Amino acid sequence: MKTLWVESIPLVTAVVTAALEAGADGIVTDEPDRVRALGRVATIGPGGEMEWDRDVFRVTVASGEDEDRAVDLAQRGPVVVEAADWTVIPLENLVSRSDRILARVESAEEARLALGALERGVAGVVLATRDPAEVRAAAAVVHAGTETVPLVPFTVTAVWPIGMGDRVCVDTCTLFRDGQGLLVGNTSSALLLVHAETLENPYVAPRPFRVNAGGVHAYCLLPGGRTAYLSDLSAGDTVLGVDAGGGTETAAVGRVKVERRPLLLVEAVGEDGRAASAVLQNAETIRLVREDGSAVSVAALAVGDRVLGALLEGGRHFGRAVEESIRER
């Protein structure tokens, strides 16, 4: 997840309030007590939870030597970098060398530029503004997710019941749209896009915050290319909502429900011959996503149907990709 700090010096109550309402991760301030009176959020500055030159550092970048200093300091903590006239190259240089760089920006558009440097982007932005509207605009940029997940089509090769088992419903604090869901799979190398419960059906009301995601053993894609077992998710965690175009949106987990249900196994193969599979609840309301973004129920899924998924490289160690020889089946 990308970090959003809002700088308010001198403190402007409307700016801090907008930052709190927009889900900012921290407030850069020289009046931490006044900020704490407005809401629970990390404060950065004198007397704050994070203090300059102890927990977090600042570097004005005007030369290669400044870049070197920022990278060195990043070994000790986050580094906020700024320049009188930002160009893309210094940001790209810094992003290529450290994942603890935050860019000080003055607008949502500058935030978008910083978050897109080298596609990966800075770890976060520090927005310096006196305009609450700019806070809301920047927060939308940060929280929209700069990640994209290249989705590929898989052709279904088998769908068959496998009996009873424990499956996981992930209830998030986000109202998903049609075409969105979570990437889930039996292996860490190939995941299928499981559609959120956004659609009307004769049996239950839509639950657009919910993805009935699959068996407790399954992997789920998280922000930053990490994965987690569905059974390990809990309230407060963050998952990665993905749409049919590969766009992403971070979603906070509000609740996880594990219940015993009839299950089925979906097996599919990509155009490169790599296999994907997922164990899902055997119910009409559980859906995968077709190439055109529409949903297809597992009750209607047939051999030869094409659904979307993602291919990942490398094995996994505590959810992070590692370069190692591994076979999963």
Q: Report the distance separating Cα 44 and Cα 239, nearest Å.
A: 27
Going from the C-alpha of 73 to that of each of 97, 115, 173, 298, the distances in angstroms are 12, 20, 36, 51
50-58 contact pairs (CB < 8 A, 24+): 50/26, 56/80, 58/82
Q: What is the pLDDT along the chain (329 residues), one digit of tens a residue?
A: 789 999 999 999 999 999 999 999 999 999 999 999 999 999 999 999 999 999 999 999 988 899 999 999 999 999 999 876 656 678 888 989 999 999 999 999 999 888 887 667 899 999 999 999 999 999 988 877 567 899 999 999 999 999 999 999 999 999 999 999 999 999 999 999 999 999 988 778 899 999 999 999 999 999 888 999 999 999 999 999 999 999 888 899 999 999 999 999 999 999 999 999 999 999 999 999 999 999 999 999 999 999 999 999 755 444 454 454 456 66
pTM: 0.69
Q: Report the distance separating Cα 281 and Cα 213, nearest Å.
A: 8
Q: Report the distance separating Cα 284 and Cα 71, nearest Å.
A: 52
Does CATH number 3.20.20.70 belong to domain 3-143?
yes
Q: Report the distance separating Cα 103 and Cα 121, nearest Å.
A: 10
Would you put residue 134 in left (φ > 0), alpha (ψ -120 to 50) or beta? alpha
Residue 203 amino acid letter: Y
Does CATH number 1.10.520 belong to domain 152-322?
no
Map out the domains of the chain as residue ranges: 3-143, 152-322
Beta-carbon contacts of 191 under 8 Å, excluding residues fewer than 6 positions away, are 183, 184, 185, 219, 221, 276, 278, 309, 310, 312
- The structure tokens listed for 262 are 């009839």
